[in-house]
Structure 1
């Protein structure tokens, strides 16, 4: 008769600790992956991600001779009751030249809505050279019922684009924004009490019957 194997409690405990450690490590990587991915996109321009210019970078800027046309696009997420559009279709500028473009947003609903704008440019290889100095997309935008606002974006195209074989021949760049309602704003809308319609008052003549 074969002898039964008695499990080693120390070995089981060691395996359990290793498994728990692995799970925590995977969880940490999951949380870290989002900001790391954003940083990667901002540095490389991957997926048409634009750049945010700081004061030092803008101060040393030189305007080149090459002209580039920027085309503006505006969208809202499905179900978001905003009208959102650019005030200009295109702008022409020299590389290194600062320009200001303006968008309009109009809250068509009867409730307060807070939105955030996600953005990208195409072609993708131009993303790391498209710099925004000021933009409504840097912060959340809150619009009251029926409110309409004009929102500026100040931008330039880095002259370094001329040194990139993959991007130096770009003649037109499309800047695209899509507004999404923030989760907190959407949750507040769902939490609003439903107002029941008032019952029609009784006719005094009927009341006397």
Structure 2
């Protein structure tokens, strides 16, 4: 009987260390997954940094259809939509698409749009030169805004990708607004 006491305590210690390790790994997994998605374009994540304007030659021999979808996260009452639902673009061609936002509330608000692309592979070839999604977007009560997104598709996009969908989800960031966003709101009053 006395031999089982030390063995049980060793097993309990190992199990506790295993549980603690699994818990720590669970916390580390989310930031690691985000980095993985950003680097590989996995899960349709796009780079949220401006790209340089394309110096590539435009490939006029083919077009890629780009569809735009918008939606609001729960709790944001804005009207948010693309000016047009789709464009056909030659790879290498720089295009601008405007998105329209309207704040119908009586409160000044700040929002941020998070992009996603399907199929995910296409995210590696979409280059946004300018995008409202790079920053928080302040909008005073009752006001409207036109928010441009300037982009081009890398001419190296594989031939089998002929259509992709760029989706934006709009989130209320008022409670977490940056000082720059709040300053822009105050300057419009």
For the superposition of Structure 1 and Structure 2, which TM-score range results when normalised by the shorter chain?
A: 0.7 to 0.9
CA contact (8 A) 1:70 1:174 kept: yes
SS at match of 1:160: coil
Distance verdict in 2 for CA 1:23–1:92, change over 3 Å: same
Deviation (angstroms), 1:121: 2.0
Task: Report the counterpart of residue 5 of structure 1 in structure 2.
Answer: 2
Task: Report the counterpart of residue 100 of structure 2 in structure 1.
Answer: 104
Count of aligned pairs between the two proteins:
174
CA contact (8 A) 1:52 1:131 kept: no
Q: Do residues 173 (structure 1) and 160 (structure 2) align?
A: no
Q: Pick one of 54, 59, 70 that aligns with 1:64.
A: 59
Distance in 1, Cα, partners of 2:26 & 2:174: 21
Distance in 2, Cα, partners of 1:26 & 1:151: 43
Of 26-35 and 80-89, deviating more is 26-35
Q: How does 1:98-177 map to 2 (within 5 A)?
A: 98-162=94-158, 168-177=159-168
Q: Where in structure 2 are there 5+ consecutive unaligned residues? A: 177-189
Distance verdict in 2 for CA 1:52–1:16, change over 3 Å: same
Residues 22-70 of structure 1 deviation map (CA, whole Å, 9 limit, x = unaligned): 4443343223222221222223322322235665x65653322221222
Task: Report the counterpart of residue 179 of structure 2 in structure 1.
Answer: none
Distance in 1, Cα, partners of 2:19 & 2:26: 11
CA contact (8 A) 1:52 1:133 kept: no
Of 37-46 and 102-111, deviating more is 37-46
Q: Where in structure 1 are there 5+ consecutive unaligned residues? A: 163-167, 186-209
Q: TM-score, normalised by structure 2?
A: 0.74
Q: TM-score, normalised by structure 1?
A: 0.68
Deviation (angstroms), 1:95: 0.4
Deviation (angstroms), 1:160: 1.5
Larger radius of gyration between Structure 1 and Structure 2: 1
Deviation (angstroms), 1:118: 2.0
SS at match of 1:133: strand
Distance verdict in 2 for CA 1:59–1:105, change over 3 Å: closer
Distance in 2, Cα, partners of 1:49 & 1:176: 10
Q: Do residues 184 (structure 1) and 180 (structure 2) align?
A: no
Task: Report the counterpart of residue 189 of structure 1 in structure 2.
Answer: none
Distance verdict in 2 for CA 1:32–1:76, change over 3 Å: same
Distance in 1, Cα, partners of 2:11 & 2:63: 64
Deviation (angstroms), 1:152: 1.2
